[in-house]
Amino acid sequence: MRTHETLAVRQRRLLAAVKGREDDAARFAKPELALLRETLLWWRRLGITQSCRFTATLLSARGRFEAAVEAFVRDTPGADSIETQRDLFLAYAADDDDPLCAAVAVTEAALIERLQYPDAPPRAIAWPCDPGPVLAALLHGKGPVDSPNHAFTLTVGPPSGGGLEWCRESPRTTKLYDRTGDEITLDEVERIAI
């Protein structure tokens, strides 16, 4: 006696196969599955590149963007809007093993939140290096140059107005060196259409 799958079960198995979960892939024709998977990944890469510019640029510069998107598609639920996909990807990238990638993803998510909710409280983000040169490079669509590893704290949406402020703790003292003169405003970030 042959058992029949319901349409919903077959659709879930197809989605799992497209996402790259090998145990489900054997049920479907390989060429069609590969085409469907590549189409899905192309659309996800496009959406993420357009909505997560800083994080996508950094991952691309490090040669990790395509692998990161594949892992994201495989490991997370699908999104029914570009905004949901963006938020899911930034949360996913915030757990990256590379501290700089994680810091950029958290910062980008905080900037987006700040644009959506201007009255949101300031958000402090730990950075493994000076965020100024990194953000300046990413703002221009370039990968950042290597910078010395010093712990910095970047604040998104400071009480003083609405840009970014950062400072670093001196290894010799407990005083903070203020870098608030090195500012990127939300207007600059908004121009790159986050």
What would the pLDDT profile of 16-34 be if each residue is shown by its tens digit?
Answer: 776 766 665 556 667 777 7
Question: Cα(135)–Cα(183) distance, rounded to whole angstroms?
Answer: 10
Question: Cα(107)–Cα(42) distance, rounded to whole angstroms?
Answer: 25
Question: Cα(80)–Cα(154) distance, rounded to whole angstroms?
Answer: 32
> CA triplet 188, 112, 49: central angle to 5 degrees?
80
Q: What are the residue boundaries of the structural domains of the chain, listed by start?
A: 53-191
- pLDDT value of residue 60: 96
DSSP label of 127: E
Question: Cα(128)–Cα(11) distance, rounded to whole angstroms?
Answer: 43
What would the pLDDT profile of 3-16 be if each residue is shown by its tens digit?
Answer: 667 777 766 777 77
For 31-40, 129-138, 146-155, 174-183, which range has the lowest pLDDT when averaged over its residues? Answer: 174-183
Examine the pLDDT at 159 and tell me if it is beyond 60: no
- pLDDT value of residue 102: 97
- Give the mean pLDDT of 157-167: 62
- pLDDT value of residue 9: 75
- Give the mean pLDDT of 148-170: 70
The percentage of the chain sitting over the pLDDT mark of 90, rounded to a whole number, equals 35
Count H helices and E strands in the chain, helices first. 9, 4
More confident residue, 2 or 73: 73
More confident residue, 80 or 191: 80
More confident residue, 1 or 151: 151
Examine the pLDDT at 116 and tell me if it is beyond 70: yes
What would the pLDDT profile of 62-73 be if each residue is shown by its tens digit?
Answer: 999 999 999 998
- Give the mean pLDDT of 101-105: 96
